[in-house]
Amino acid sequence: MSSELQEIEDLIARMAMGNRQAFREIYARTSAKLFGVVLRVLEDRAEAEDVLQEIYIKVWNNAERYRVNGLSPMTWLITIARNAAIDRKRRARPVQSAEMLNEALADPGPGPEAEAVRRSDRERLSGCFGELDDRHAEAVRRAYLDGDTYADLAAHFEVPLNTMRTWLRRSLLKLRECLSR
């Protein structure tokens, strides 16, 4: 883990003990990144600001559960941010989903650490995206970065819903196969 990630992990640990200065530092280091992610999903500044508040409240409240969830610190923060933004975008799914996930992951057990500490890097991912059909790669990207549903994707690519599901599921298998090489 790079020293920067280590520092963020340490800040999360201090935050878990109620250290407000640590919270402020986490915010200074990560808020522009997370706000960018949220804005990308919501495309509405006022809503994005509102959701960013909820995200950092969640980060503060869940900090003590971070260590056992098996995710690297930035992935944990990005996942909380993205889930909150998508929950807001869809409204139908209440915000508790991210909390449920945290609960679910909070079981220490034999963890996924070995796999999770593996540095995910953008080049590896974009290399694997390059092995997919362009439209299939774009579908995965739209789902993750824009929060598109299967219905959104089917409409965008003008294919039947079931075709969309098949594309995407095959793409996921190919991606995982490539990423595991």
Within 126-165, which residues bind other proteins (CB under 8 A)? 140-141, 143-145, 147, 149-150
Residues in contact with other proteins, shown as a per-residue x/- string from 42 to 81 under the rule CB under 8 A: -xxxx--x--xx--xx--x--------xxxx-xx--xx--
Q: Which residue has the tokens 């804005």?
A: 39
Q: How far is the CB of 133 from other proteins (least distance, A)?
A: 17
The footprint of other proteins on residues 103-122 (CB under 8 A) is: 103-105, 107, 109-112, 114-116, 118, 120-122
Q: What is the DSSP string of 71-123?
A: --HHHHHHHHHHHHHHHHHHSSS-THHHHHHHHHHT--SS-SHHHHTSPP-HH
> Tokens representing 67?
């260590």
Q: How many angstroms separate the CA atoms of 16 and 66, rounded? A: 9
What torsion do the CA atoms of 88, 117, 108, 22 make, to the nearest 10 degrees?
-60
Instruction: Kindly state the smallest distance separating residue 5's Cβ from other proteins, in Å.
Output: 12
Instruction: State the minimum distance, in angstroms, from the CB of residue 37 to other proteins.
Output: 5
State the binding string over 5-44 for other proteins (x if CB under 8 A, else -). ---------------xx-xx--xxx-xxx-xxx-xx--xx
